Amino acid sequence: MLLTNLLHISTLSLVLSLILPTYNEAANISNLLEMLDGVLANIPHEIIVVDDNSPDQTWKIATETSKLRGCIKVLRRMHKKGLSSAVVDGLDAAHGTILAVMDSDGQHDAQLLLSLVEHIRQGADISIGSRYVEGGSVGSWVRDRRIISRVGTFFAKRLSRVPVSDPLGGFFVLKRSVYQIVRPTLHPTGFKILLEILAAVPKQTKLTEVPLIFRMRLHGQSKLSLRVHVAFLCQIIRLSFRSFVELLRKSGMILFMTLIVMTAVWLFPRLLSLRLLYTDPTMRERVQSALTTVADREGWLLSDIELRSVSSDSIEILHRDHLRTEAPVRACTIHLSSSTLSCPE
């Protein structure tokens, strides 16, 4: 791991440390850092950009910006290790008495930081930007994504040790003292580090939620994928077993575990249909090449294509123009040998 631009300001004067995990956010990072410069102008702060050696050189843009602004640090990790571990590495390197985490893709309103920090100053231990309190919203998500989010939230809320409406958000602020309490128990895998924290905090932890309207990504591609869903399911199962003895005393434990098993059964056919992607590196390359070729030829965005199944000679996909619209879905087949597309009417 390389650490660039060690802070030139005294760490004793720091109030806020903001962690920005990045991967292929070159189109967003400059505007975000400029916006944060204005939002945090009256708060002694540091901004820690944690980048997994992005191919689009997000880390390089952030490093160049850090030369102009002494409050910015860049942690460049030489291998892609995942969102949660990036956040934890950033928090471990932070010096502020208040620690904050937000996405780097523009979907979180930077102005909300001031409200979250103010809640901490007024006595909260953790303050969360929440999509599911009054005034919050998931924005223009399509129905399928709303359903998946609600199901995931249902499970996650039952693992949190404090009442919370949105335990899967990525925009939150907490006291350094709280982070120090939970740090030894954290297993930073997957994408949901807030859930990991909420599953470990003392039950007397004071948590507040501030309405968050989740915005559309302006640039780049979403990181959401089947792999992310599988990682989340594994995280839910792991945290469930960790708290098994405690949850066993509660009357809803049998139903809770049944729902988890049902979810696993629901995902298994999907994993089975895509098994060649996980077992055959050559097949992964062929599928990626075919998808890219067809998308370029048809003028599609890769993010509008959902991969349904993979066989040795073809792949089945669903396509919808701009996933956030209500455009009809088309089921199509791509033949790997020729990268030809067929979409029955």
Q: How many domains does the chain have?
A: 3
Single-letter amino acid, residue 264: A
Is 5 a residue whose pLDDT tops 50? no
Residues 207 and 143 in one domain: yes
241, 258, 275 — which closes off a domain?
Answer: 275
Identify the domain containing residue 80 by its residue range. 2-220
**Cβ proximity of 206 and 167 under 8 Å:** no
Residues 190 and 323 in one domain: no
Residues 251 and 315 in one domain: no
pTM of the predicted model as reported, rounded to 2 decimal places:
0.65
pLDDT digits (tens, 9 = 90+) for 164-205: 999 888 899 999 999 999 999 888 776 678 988 998 899 999
Residues 108 and 249 in one domain: no
Residues 142 and 257 in one domain: no
Query: Residue 217 has what pLDDT?
Result: 56
Environment class of 16 (CB within 10 Å of its CB; exposed 0-12, middle 13-18, buried 19+): buried
**Cβ proximity of 107 and 124 under 8 Å:** no
CA dist., res. 292 & res. 42, Å (int): 46
Q: How far is CA 173 from the centre of its chain?
A: 15
**Hey, what are 245's tokens?**
């003895």
Residues 195 and 68 in one domain: yes
pLDDT digits (tens, 9 = 90+) for 203-256: 999 999 999 887 665 544 554 555 665 666 766 666 666 665 555 565 566 677
Q: How many H helices and E strands in the chain?
A: 12, 12
CA angle 140, 262, 85 (to 5 degrees): 60
Report which listed range, 60-64, 130-134, 298-302, is most confident: 60-64
pLDDT digits (tens, 9 = 90+) for 27-53: 889 999 999 999 999 999 999 999 999
Q: Which residues of 170-204 are buried (b: 16+ CB within 10 A; e: fewer)?
A: bbbbbbeebbebbeeebebbbbbbbbbbbbbbeee
**Cβ proximity of 126 and 205 under 8 Å:** yes
Q: Which helix (H) or strand (E) is 308 found in, with range?
A: strand 305-310
CA dist., res. 229 & res. 152, Å (int): 9
Residues 77 and 47 in one domain: yes
Residues 175 and 237 in one domain: no
Residues 249 and 259 in one domain: yes
Q: CB atoms < 10 A from the CB of 327, how many?
A: 13
Q: What is the mean pLDDT of the chain?
A: 82
Residues 264 and 282 in one domain: no
pLDDT digits (tens, 9 = 90+) for 320-342: 876 556 667 889 999 999 989 99
CATH code of residue 64: 3.90.550.10
Q: Which helix (H) or strand (E) is 248 found in, with range?
A: helix 244-248
Residues 172 and 94 in one domain: yes
CA angle 168, 28, 97 (to 5 degrees): 55
Residues 243 and 298 in one domain: no
Residue 328 phi, psi dihedral angles, 5° rounding: -65, 145
